[in-house]
Amino acid sequence: DHQTYTFLGDGCLMEGISHEVCSLAGTLKLGKLTAFYDDNGISIDGEVEGWFNDDTPARFEAYGWHVIANVDGHDSDAIKAAIDAAHAETGKPTLICCKTIIGFGSPNKQGKEDCHGAALGVDEVALTRKALGWNHGPFEIPADHYAGWNGVAKGTSAQTAWADQLEEYRAAHPELAEEFERRTRGDLPEDFSANADAYIQECQDKMEKIASRKASQNCLNAFGPMLPELLGGSADLAGSNLTIWSGCKDISGDNADGNYIYYGVREFGMSAMMNGIALHGGFINYGATFLMFMEYARNAVRMAALMKQQSIFVYTHDSIGLGEDGPTHQPVEQLSALRATPNLHTWRPCDTVESAVSWKSAIERRDGPAALVFSRQGLKPMPRTPQQVADIGRGGYVLKDCAAPQAILIATGSEVELAVNAADELAGKGIQVRVVSMPCAEIFSAQDADYRDSVLTPTIRARVAVEALHADYWFKFVGLDGRVVGMRTFGESAPGDQLLKEFGFTVDNVVANVMEAIG
């Protein structure tokens, strides 16, 4: 009897996301989902018949929904009967089409766009009260009306019955009851953090050179068995995003006993559904697509951050380094948009170790989403001390240092190796350079000033940031005296290594920029 209800109007059904999610809901046979369609025929610009004349019941029947048409939206008995019919249909989601009059009761504004997004006004409110026979003042609720709407007793009874049922369940299945409550509280298994740290150290010890998207899949194989609440998916790119791990079981319309959703080509719908799953609770859910296709889903990503929900957005193919697919698929400005989103942690790890830390951080975070950005190409593993491994979780840290640095190189992802190689080249010229890896700038920026200054020493003004994405973001770290080796145009269609050379991601160019910054 666990039901989900949603309310939508004409404008909602015009939006493309309505097709994405309603199509999938029908395919998955979500029989406990009921949508109320407020069909009043009005949007902000007026009567919708000039721009929206879909046969909505037929549309939803084509999706595989149970449709209850022509319900009087002002008749509570008719609505109650429709809800009962929706509950009786367990193999399909239900759309209840409620015909309503916008601004019902307003003598001069009902049925018009005038009352869509504006208050009726004092005079029209008085006329509406009279038309509806409501003779009570603002916030004055007659006792009989209050009693009729008061659900405290009913709710208390239902809550008590639920609590009693849970206690019976606990007596019969104590371990399952404890696991249920752990998941619904959002608590992680007690040993998760320690086990995750052990895996991170294992990655450091192995020093594998693999694409970070493969490192991400390895993380899923490591963390998945620890987290029975993990629920994954991809927008028709599972084989490219590498989001399927060894313990994945498909969810379908005939089998809900799984932990992986094939969302199809529905990036926006997937991301919005992830937010719904996060709001429901009991799951840690992730969904994946190419970084470029984040553009289709940006509103849902923003809403996850605004609502402080733990949605984990996995984005692969993270730069011009992906190669021949060309500028339509090569992200440039997307990372800047993600980093500009308040309350979103955007990670771009440089190797298997940082990839594992990014997953651990996203899983342990309870007050907002994370975007995990992974490469298509192989990334060289970086040597680290235990303290450096620990400092990855602070968002930025000194990866390679020297006695008296004259300049600082800041890099992320695939460009960290380039920065290290450039620092080595400069050392051969007698120029000492510190290399900072900054996989998550938002977390680094939230550290205390002493730590930030220990990484980016204020007196070292010669700074160069290196990232194969839009350059402008990095000026907040390198300052007016600094340089950024980044993208300022769209990419091109060519092999990835040729593109990186063409756009200046070479040791020689990084060295030249450091020399300029030093002066």
Residues marked active site are found at: 267
CA 50 to CA 443: how far, in whole Å?
Answer: 49
172-177's contacts with Cβ under 8 Å and 24+ in sequence apart are: none
Specify whether the CB–CB gap between 92 and 34 falls below 8 A: no
CA 270 to CA 274: how far, in whole Å?
Answer: 6
Specify whether the CB–CB gap between 467 and 320 falls below 8 A: no
CA 149 to CA 105: how far, in whole Å?
Answer: 21
Which of 116-125 are b and which e, b meaning 16 or more Cβ less than 10 Å from the residue's Cβ?
beeebeeebe
Nearest Cα neighbor of 370 from 439, 435, 426, 433 is 439
| Number of neighbouring beta carbons within 10 Å of residue 221 | 15
Specify whether the CB–CB gap between 335 and 412 falls below 8 A: no
What are the beta bridge partners of residue 314? 288, 372
What's the DSSP call for residue 447?
A: S
Nearest Cα neighbor of 408 from 398, 395, 417, 418 is 398
What are the beta bridge partners of residue 232? 260
- The three-state secondary structure class of 18 is helix
CA 346 to CA 177: how far, in whole Å?
Answer: 35
Would you mind telling me the total number of residues written for the chain in this entry? 519
Which of 263-290 are b and which e, b meaning 16 or more Cβ less than 10 Å from the residue's Cβ?
bbebbbbbbbbbbebbeeeebbbbbbbb
- The three-state secondary structure class of 469 is strand
Specify whether the CB–CB gap between 311 and 362 falls below 8 A: no
Directed axis angle between helix 352-364 and helix 212-223, to 10°? 50
Residue 375, token pair as written in the block: 């490469």
Encode 366-401 in three state secondary structure. Answer: CCCCEEEECCCCEECCCCCCHHHHHHHCCCCEEEEC
Q: What is the helix (H) or strand (E) element at residue 230, kind and residue range?
A: strand 230-234
